[in-house]
């Protein structure tokens, strides 16, 4: 990832200042200028863009992999009244999506659709409303008896959780 002017356009004099602000903003290391020639300035700009790109890519990876784990760890996040209200606002939508996905999983014969849906299903018997227990059992049976290796393997992981 590299931040630079659009192709075939020259950067104005403020470009190095913008790069310096971005370096501070993302917490990236400031490269040391080698000199004051145009070639040295271009070299510094290139090093600054790479440093910014590495910092942004690192933050993205950290947020994708570690932030959800930290949020899921017991006792690490106590919801405030406002955040709990926001979660409650979407609880019904989440429940309706889960029930619809379960019905589609059972109704469809398409393996690709089933692969996409399975990961988001809650296949624990106690994880759904009592009237859906038969549907959960049917989805579990379909996945276990499938000719697809992914479905058979994934259902065992999800039932065990």
User: Is the same domain home to 99 and 129?
Assistant: yes
Per-residue CA distances from 14 to 5, 10, 11, 20 (Å): 12, 11, 8, 10
Give me the pLDDT at residue 139, please.
94
User: Is the same domain home to 112 and 45?
Assistant: no
User: Is the same domain home to 151 and 119?
Assistant: yes
**Does 8 map to a domain?**
no
pTM: 0.49
Q: Could you say which residues of the chain have pLDDT below 50? A: 1
Give me the pLDDT at residue 105, please.
92
Per-residue CA distances from 99 to 13, 33, 66, 95, 129 (Å): 57, 59, 29, 6, 9
**Does 7 map to a domain?**
no
User: Is the same domain home to 90 and 152?
Assistant: yes
b (16+ CB within 10 A) / e for 28-39: beebeeeeeeee
In this structure, are residues 28 and 51 in contact, taking their beta carbons and an 8 Å threshold? yes
- Domain, as residue range, for 135: 79-160
**Does 74 map to a domain?**
no
**Does 72 map to a domain?**
no
**Does 73 map to a domain?**
no
């Amino acid at each position: 990832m590299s931040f630079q002017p659009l192709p075939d356009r020259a950067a104005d004099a403020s470009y190095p200042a913008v790069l310096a602000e971005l370096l501070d903003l993302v917490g990236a290391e400031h490269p040391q200028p080698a000199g004051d020639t145009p070639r040295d300035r271009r070299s510094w700009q290139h090093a600054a863009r790479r440093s910014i790109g590495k910092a942004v890519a690192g933050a993205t990876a950290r947020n994708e992999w570690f932030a959800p784990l930290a949020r899921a760890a017991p006792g690490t996040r106590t919801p405030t009244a406002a955040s709990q209200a926001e979660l409650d606002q979407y609880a019904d939508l989440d429940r309706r999506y889960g029930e619809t996905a379960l019905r589609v999983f059972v109704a469809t014969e398409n393996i690709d659709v089933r692969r996409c849906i399975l990961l988001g299903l809650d296949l624990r018997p106690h994880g759904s409303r009592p009237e859906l227990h038969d549907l959960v059992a049917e989805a579990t049976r379909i996945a276990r008896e499938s000719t697809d290796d992914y479905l058979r393997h994934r259902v065992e992981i999800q039932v065990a959780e």
